[in-house]
Amino acid sequence: MDDSAPTALYEPGDPYDSQWLSVPGGHELFIQQSGSPGGQPLLLLHGGPGSKATAMQRRLFDPARFRIVQFDQRACGRSRARAPLLHNHTDALVADIERIRDRLGIVRWLVCGGSWGATLAVHYAATHRSPVAGLLLRALFLAGRTDLDWFFGGAGALFPDEWQRFLACAPRSRRHRIQPWLWQVFAKGGDADMRRVAAAWRRWEAVVQGQTPPPAALDSEAIQRYRIQAHYLARACFLGERRVRAAVASLHGLPVLFVHGRRDFVCRPSNAWTAWCSLSGSRLLWVDEAGHDPFAPGMVRAVREAADRWLREQDFDGIGLLRRPPW
């Protein structure tokens, strides 16, 4: 990585277009376009599952040269739904991406995402190859038992005091297997239970990410975020690790760059390594001083360098490590 590359974020600018799109299943998606209407199309997928598109996310990309498309996934953020969890699954999100592309008249785009957004980007590219010009993937989440057992268990060895604090949100009899209990709370629990558990979950998430724990108070949007996340994680994001890894391996010939912080304790570096090893021609860029935070200076530098390279060359050649064919 070029250590002289900029670490400053671009100005977010105001979106030049905001609109709603009705999709099957009683959902309405909130879509925004920002940057340059004549720029290179870029689809920026938010993480979670259950989070939302933000102005901060697009500050990694040059607004003078990219046409940046963002949307809030089903029942997330400003998107609306009569029944948030009904007809809310990964294949529906992929179909939504194609509906958005068709609505906006975009032929091909660079697809970018971090964490769950990277997972969704991989699945989209594997099932809709022709509209995808390339993939820029940060902190890939593999959506399997290994990832979940780490986050809801193994990572507790790194932060034992905070792990015990998180476990305290559950009855003693359920703490040895907290995941199924979490899913049940958000599927069948009352508002007070969901609010209490969402606050504990949010604090644990911040600790593992290396961030300052947020205030305990949550608004309805934050609770909805963890409700959707539980809905997806309880079902391995409707994919599972085997399907995600197979999707990655199917992308031979497509420009793909994995960017991963070596200190990422949420989506561990082994995720990117495993994916890179399975896809000849892909590239892997380690960011030594970064964790899961997309706005750490080293990560900003890495993503900006990759995006600028894409604008110049329409590929990621020369960045990071090249996975050579095994023959």
Instruction: Examine the residue annotation and report whether 264 is marked as an active-site residue of this protein.
Output: yes
Which single residue is written with the structure tokens 């995006």?
Answer: 307
- What is the 3-state secondary structure of 145-179? HHHHHHHCCHHHHCCHHHHHHHHCCCCHHHHHHHH
Q: Please tell me which residue in 34, 260, 292, 293 is annotated as part of the active site.
A: 292
CA distance 320 to 286: 7
Q: Is 323 helix (H, G, I), strand (E, B) or coil?
A: coil
172, burial (CB in 10 Å: exposed 0-12, middle 13-18, buried 19+): exposed
Q: Please tell me which residue in 51, 264, 282, 293 is annotated as part of the active site.
A: 264
Q: Please tell me which residue in 34, 51, 79, 115 is annotated as part of the active site.
A: 115
Buried b (16+ CB within 10 A) or exposed e, 128-137: eeebbbbbbb
Whether a cis peptide bond, with omega within 30° of 0, leads into 6 is: no
How many H-runs (helices) and E-runs (strands) does the chain carry? 11, 10
Instruction: Examine the residue annotation and report whether 115 is marked as an active-site residue of this protein.
Output: yes
Residue 227 contacts residue 74 (beta carbons within 8 Å): no
The DSSP-derived string for 289-311 is T--S-TTSHHHHHHHHHHHHHHH
CA distance 308 to 88: 34
CA distance 198 to 181: 13
DSSP state of 236: G
Q: Where are the alpha helices (DSSP H) in the chain?
A: 55-58, 90-104, 116-127, 145-151, 160-167, 178-188, 191-209, 220-233, 241-249, 269-277, 297-313
Instruction: Examine the residue annotation and report whether 292 is marked as an active-site residue of this protein.
Output: yes
Residue 208 contacts residue 155 (beta carbons within 8 Å): yes
Residue 229 contacts residue 49 (beta carbons within 8 Å): yes
Active site residues: 115, 264, 292
